[in-house]
Amino acid sequence: MATVFIPAQMSDTTGGVREVSLAAANVREVVAQLEERFPGIGARLQKGDALAPTLQVSIDGVLSTKGLRSAVGPESEVHFLPAMVGG
């Protein structure tokens, strides 16, 4: 099962849980399963049909550009990180 790390700023929606194990094939499934366990977190991770614009997702230490379509392996580590923006 993939290990999903919950951002500290979202731990209020999880009762302080910071890490969960999930069986998911992609980030969209990760978000759906997190929403089932922790109602309300999905709205903070996803906007419409995309990852929330304030977030990036890292899978196995690599930042993904595919957002919710990013593949997740059975042993993956998934981190939701604040998006880097600048000018």
Instruction: Enter the pTM of the model.
Output: 0.92
- Structure confidence at residue 65 (pLDDT): 92
Question: What CATH fold (topology level) applies to the domain 2-82?
Answer: Ubiquitin-like (UB roll) (3.10.20)
What is residue 61's predicted lDDT score, i.e. its pLDDT?
Answer: 96
Successive 10-residue mean pLDDT values, the chain, 87 residues: 94 95 98 97 96 95 95 97 72
In Å, the largest CA–CA distance within the chain is 38
Per-domain residue ranges of the chain: 2-82
pLDDT score recorded for residue 83: 80
